Amino acid sequence: MIRFDHVSKTYAGQKRPALDGLHLEIAKGEFVFLVGASGSGKSTFLRLILREERPSAGRVYVAGKEINKLSSWKVPKLRRQVGTVFQDFRLLPNRTVNENVAFALQVIGKSREEINAVLPETLELVGLEGKGHRFPGELSGGEQQRVAVARAFVNRPKILIADEPTGNLDPATSVGLMKLLDRINRTETTVVMATHDSSIVDQMRKRVIELDDGRVVRDEARGIYGYQS
């Protein structure tokens, strides 16, 4: 589903590469934790999957497409197959839960009927049934992040990318969110989650890829967080 083929990335004006000869593959339906200190290259890894950046060397394949060769007008099509969740939720505060989730479909040109058909089941999946008319400000942090997950998943992407999704949540709420991501993963959706949350990684026992200085220093099938920050 995602393949990095000897990928390096050096940002303009910087000497040290952000990623240095990364070579790995993430299969369809896998759940992967991406760990490592700040500046280890996690964000660059995610940005390459979203084709926000292009590699300086090597090739990146996402959902069967080589992203270097993807012309810019095809990038939106790629991104429709990759849902994204952020640490800071990034909800639209002046729109209700329903409108926030529907927004993701409206802007890719889905009709009202199509949206109305998938909206209730998506809210149910993330455990927000009955809260569709609330505004983000009226929800707890955990609930807001669930809205963000609903928005990322409502179009049924093949890949879900989560960048520190529990970073702003308390431990108990984080566990709930991880259960949700696990449920999404069981629908054959590949999940890639960058995190600093050691207890969650240790609990889930999923594949762990640790980056350090732009290189993979550990890649374990049922790994633990395993490094001291």
Partner 1 sequence: MNFTLRELGSSLSRNKTMTISLVVTMSVSLVLVALGLLIQAQTERTEQYFGEKLQLQVSLCTDGSRSDTCIGGAASDEQKQAVQEALNDNPEVKSFEVRTAEENYEAARQTFGQSDTGRKQLEVLSPENFPESYFVTLKDPQEFEGVMSQVSGMDGVNSVLSLKDLLGPLFTALDKLKWAAIGTSLLLVLAAILQVSNTIRMTAHARRREISIMRYVGASSWHIQLPFLLESLLAALISAALAAAGLAAFTGFVVYGFLRDKLGTFTTWVRWQEAIVVMGWTTILALLLALVPTLIMTRKYLDV
Query: Interface with partner 1 by CB under 8 A: which residues?
Result: 50, 73, 75-84, 90, 92, 103-104, 106-109, 112, 151-152, 155
Residue type, position 140, single letter? S
- The DSSP code for 60 is E
- Closest CB to partner 1 among residues 42, 79: 79
Between CA 112 and CA 104 the distance in angstroms is 12
Smallest separation (angstroms) from partner 1 to the CB of 109 = 7
Smallest separation (angstroms) from partner 1 to the CB of 152 = 8
- Closest CB to partner 1 among residues 50, 57: 50
- Closest CB to partner 1 among residues 82, 169: 82
Between CA 227 and CA 211 the distance in angstroms is 11
Smallest separation (angstroms) from partner 1 to the CB of 198 = 27
Phi, psi of 38 (to 5 degrees): -60, 140
Smallest separation (angstroms) from partner 1 to the CB of 224 = 30
Smallest separation (angstroms) from partner 1 to the CB of 167 = 18
Smallest separation (angstroms) from partner 1 to the CB of 5 = 24
Q: Are 123 and 131 in contact (CB under 8 A)?
A: yes
Between CA 99 and CA 94 the distance in angstroms is 9
- Closest CB to partner 1 among residues 12, 107: 107
Q: Which of 51, 49, 47, 54 is nearest to 26 (CA)?
A: 49
- Closest CB to partner 1 among residues 117, 217: 117
- Closest CB to partner 1 among residues 67, 204: 67
If phi > 0 it is left, if psi is from -120 to 50 it is alpha, else beta; for residue 105 that is: alpha
DSSP string, 157-224: -SEEEEESTTTTS-HHHHHHHHHHHHHHHTTT-EEEEE---HHHHHHH--EEEEEETTEEEEEETT--
Which tokens sit at 204?
A: 């889930």
